[in-house]
Amino acid sequence: MRNWIQKTLLFVLLPTVMLTAREPQEESYRLLPGTRRATEEEQAQLLQAYRAEMESDEAKEVTEKSLNLEKSYTYYNDCTLYGISQMGYKASTIMLTDGTCWTISRYDSYVAADWQAYNTTGGMAADLVYITTNVGWIYNNDYPFKLVNVATAEAVQAELSQAPDPTQACWINFIDYERRVVEVADTNGYVTVWKLSWWDQSIMARWQIGDRILFGRNNRWNGSSNPFLLINIETYDYARGDSVY
């Protein structure tokens, strides 16, 4: 009789014990060490804002104000624009204001022949360009990117041949591989956070804190949901994504 009672209690209580053991615990979240300049208070604000963002898209405006990073959402568009600093001989190379130098395909150099670089003597403003992927173009293996002139909408095939000036560089400050979140800092003190596409998770897995980043615009099929490119200079690849804050 006693054995039967013990077996009955075990049968009744075991599922309860198992359910209790499986109750979700509060998830810990820690900013990884890197070159972050934020204080502990700012880190706490970032954590709070990040969790709010994961819960609701409506939290973006609240996040923007709470972080007080002295920037607006237009920064995410501005960060993809680069002025032309110098034009090489017959537009064979183009140097941008961040110090990067791009080798232009010889089949496209005539397109950029009239592009305007910044002229310190005449005070002429430079043409603005943005970086995007070289999709559907011939020789895209040699020239994986395009530089697109904002004013003329002309595009040239390009390959990165020189990294940015250290005083103008952006770098990865924090990575959350599981959530596909990357935090990027720049020399002006701005800290931006990006949610990368699920399709590029394997690419992101190779990235590390300290890797230098360029920003571009996504012209691929998922450009509406992931409008930006994060181009990793160290691995020379890119991932698509969108800004979190």
Q: How far apart are CA 213 and CA 202, in angstroms?
A: 17
Better-scored residue on pLDDT, 44 or 127: 127
Average pLDDT of the segment spanning 112-127: 75
pLDDT tens per residue across span 190-237? 889 999 999 999 999 999 999 999 999 998 888 788 999 999 999 999
pLDDT above 70: residue 47: no
pLDDT confidence bin for 43, thresholds 50/70/90: low
Contact 234, 214 (CB under 8 A): no
Q: How far apart are CA 236 and CA 162, in angstroms?
A: 12
- 71-119 per-position pLDDT tens digit: 333 344 478 899 999 999 989 999 998 999 999 999 999 999 999 887 6
Give the separation between CA 60 and CA 52, rounded to whole angstroms: 8
Residue 17 has pLDDT above 50, yes or no: no
Q: Is the pTM of this model over 0.75?
A: no
Question: How high is the pLDDT of residue 222?
Answer: 80
Q: Is the pLDDT of residue 4 over 90?
A: no
> Residue 128: pLDDT above 60?
yes
CA-closest candidate to residue 87, choices 54, 65, 110: 110
